Structure 1
Amino acid sequence: MSKKVLGRGLGAYFQEVEGSSSPQYHAISSVEELEKLDTREKVNIILHIPVNSIRANPFQPRMDFDEIKLQELAESIKVHGLIQPITARHVGQNRYELISGERRLRACKMAGIDTIPAYIREVNDEDVIAMALVENVQREQLNPIETALGYQRLIEECELTQEVVAQRVGKNRTTVTNMLRLLNLPPFIQSALQKNQISIGHARALISIENLRVQEQLLNKIIENDWSVRQVEQAVKQVSLKGKKSTKVLSKKDQKDLELLQLSNQLKNKLSTKVQIRRKAQGGEIKIEYYSDEELDRLLGIFDSMA
């Protein structure tokens, strides 16, 4: 498959996500009919495929799905049908892999829908990651940490530079760099960012503080006192001016927390799902989430390949 073909497919997808002026779309009944068309014709084709023939996107950047909103979407689909098709790729005899639209797919399953309309794209893994990331970012469905992890996957798994990642997702390089820096934050700040307790501006201001205890104190003040980003920047400046050694030395516990954070991020990237690591008095636990039987099978397949 040539790079030129992949480029056209990806560009067409971006138009779908952005809601550009609508071309004429046509529905067909089988993948055999689809294969007879050239790449340009396939762009505007919708194929109705069985819901149970679609496996989850292993590169899905989104880790949290609101069950209440999913149920609301399922009820809406029961009444009005699915308005926006999903996007998938053909991976074998009557089998497909989701590229984007996981909320819609899950809601259709909840609604008891047997078939779902889909755009079928001929793309490689690199473009699948980019497509899923672009859709979620443009629809503002990812929290900042999920976005940063998506960028990191493009860099590590597809061996792309930050510059190329920026081009793929339609952002400037500075934005990508700043998002990636968020992954250097300790777990409690990442968690606050994911829960929308603080903004990206707050989090970026805390990055320069090297002592976890000071970071945690400032985070609590931000949440409790509803500090603005400017107030946080001033507080960080005051801490820096004091020049205390405590702001430059990590305790053994802090070092272990950072190691757990790095390990957690590695597992998230490897498994493409939400992973939590908790330390206990003796040992600890690792919590790995999955959202369907198909996703459980995918995870078990990954574990088998590691054996």
Structure 2
Amino acid sequence: MASRVAGKIKLQSVDELLGVPEIAGTQEIEIGRIHAFPNHPFKVLDDEKMDTLVDSIRKNGILNPVIVRPDQSGNYEMISGHRRLHAARIVGLKKIPAIVKEMSDDEAIIKMVDANIQREEILPSEKAFAYKMKLDALKRTAGRPTKENACHNGTHLRSDQELALQVGDSARSIQRYVRLTELVPELLDYVDNKKIGLVMAVDLSYLDEQVQKWVYEYFKENGFLKPVQVEALKNYPNLSNVTQFSVISIMNDALPKKSKESKLSFSAKKLDKYFPPQYSTKERENIIIQLLEQWSADQVQSE
């Protein structure tokens, strides 16, 4: 628990979140003996932040030990520190300081998510798979009540409600993020790149995988995807039996139709000042056309 110091609240460190005592010693573990957490949802990117981390490790070493747990083969599974491990490999380190902690599979999932969800910038796809992994783990451990998952009246929170309290998102928001795990990778990348919003992405997640792929191809080729098109697909009966051509037709038909070509008209009163009163409507029209043709020819010559 965070302690109050001089009237201020001390934020919990990753070690405290993982339940590792501050006095816990570290071990120098060979990098080759540490493997990534299975289906680790947080991306390790060779970006500008990674370059900064590499420079820091090259100058100062690894200041905060990683957190690992022993596996059945005598090696170690990473819980917290995938980015530090990657940077250490780039620097060329052979060993890395680590705290070894025994934990069950579900405990490891929960601790891994807790340690990484604290990052400042989290992609929607990272949130999606992290929330799903932790929710599944919480559901499996729901039969073992703790003070964290019990209400004041003795009843237990739903897993999504419990997670909502822990991460600061609403249960509804968590459910939406978990739906993103049903998207094909190409559409999920568009969500990460902010080409598709969360609400539209959730709607797309209910479509069949093949239909999602066709929607992605349509988006990629045309450069747009409108909410009305997704709504049309969502409400189309028996969409599982359609062809790609049908999907394209449904999406195109859902777009607003262009309004009919507007007509240009002149009132007789406006034209009376230019024509003698005996000129018929047809005669006036012919003269106007002749004048326009002459005007158009003059424009061409002047170019």
The AA in structure 2 aligned to 1:122 is E
Residues 149 and 167 (structure 1 numbering): CA distance in 2 closer, same or farther, change over 3 Å? same
Residues 118 and 172 (structure 1 numbering): CA distance in 2 closer, same or farther, change over 3 Å? farther
Q: CA deviation at 1:78?
A: 0.5
Aligned residue in 1 for 2:191: 193
Q: Is residue 2:21 matched to residue 1:42? A: yes
Output one character per residue of 1:48-67: Cα deviation in whole Å (capped at 9) or x when no partner.
Answer: 32233642233352364323
Query: Contact conserved, 1:189 with 1:219, CA < 8 A, in 2?
Result: no
Output one character per residue of 1:106-159: Cα deviation in whole Å (capped at 9) or x when no partner.
Answer: 211221224433333332211211222223322156532343233333455675
**Greater helix proportion:** 1
Q: 2:44 aligns with which of 47, 65, 68?
A: 65
Aligned residue in 1 for 2:11: 20
Aligned residue in 1 for 2:132: 152
- Give identity over the alignment, percent: 19
The AA in structure 2 aligned to 1:200 is L
Distance 2:122 2:57 in 1: 23
Query: Contact conserved, 2:184 with 2:213, CA < 8 A, in 1?
Result: no
Query: Contact conserved, 2:139 with 2:159, CA < 8 A, in 1?
Result: no
Distance 2:19 2:206 in 1: 49
Query: Contact conserved, 1:46 with 1:117, CA < 8 A, in 2?
Result: no
The AA in structure 1 aligned to 2:97 is P
Distance 1:24 1:73 in 2: 19
Query: Contact conserved, 1:145 with 1:190, CA < 8 A, in 2?
Result: yes
Out of 105-114 and 209-218, give the one that drifted further. 209-218
RCO higher in structure (CA 8 A, sep ≥6): 1
Q: 1:167 aligns with which of 145, 162, 166?
A: 162
Q: 1:126 aligns with which of 94, 101, 106?
A: 106
Query: Contact conserved, 1:71 with 1:110, CA < 8 A, in 2?
Result: no
Output one character per residue of 1:234-276: Cα deviation in whole Å (capped at 9) or x when no partner.
Answer: 5655x379x655xx4224667xxxxxxxxxxxxxxxxxxxxxx
Q: How does 1:23-102 map to 2 (within 5 A)?
A: 42-52=21-31, 54-62=33-41, 64-69=43-48, 70-91=50-71, 95-102=75-82
Aligned residue in 2 for 1:182: 180
Distance 1:150 1:41 in 2: 22
The AA in structure 1 aligned to 2:53 is L
Q: How does 1:204-215 map to 2 (within 5 A)?
A: 204-207=202-205, 212=212, 215=215
Query: Contact conserved, 1:60 with 1:132, CA < 8 A, in 2?
Result: no
What CA RMSD, in Å, does the superposition of the two structures yield over aligned residues? 4.4
How many correspondences in the alignment? Answer: 216
SS at match of 2:117: helix
Distance 2:241 2:111 in 1: 41
Task: Identify unmatched segments of 5+ residues in structure 1.
Answer: 1-10, 13-18, 26-38, 255-307
Query: Contact conserved, 1:91 with 1:97, CA < 8 A, in 2?
Result: yes
Query: Contact conserved, 1:212 with 1:250, CA < 8 A, in 2?
Result: no
Aligned residue in 1 for 2:249: none
TM-score (norm: length of structure 2): 0.53
SS at match of 1:67: coil
SS at match of 1:122: coil
Out of 102-111 and 148-157, give the one that drifted further. 148-157
**Greater strand proportion:** 1
Query: Contact conserved, 1:151 with 1:176, CA < 8 A, in 2?
Result: yes
Distance 2:121 2:33 in 1: 22
Residues 42 and 93 (structure 1 numbering): CA distance in 2 closer, same or farther, change over 3 Å? farther
Aligned residue in 2 for 1:278: none
TM-score (norm: length of structure 1): 0.53
Query: Contact conserved, 2:41 with 2:129, CA < 8 A, in 1?
Result: no
Aligned residue in 2 for 1:117: 97
Distance 1:41 1:103 in 2: 20
Distance 1:154 1:196 in 2: 25
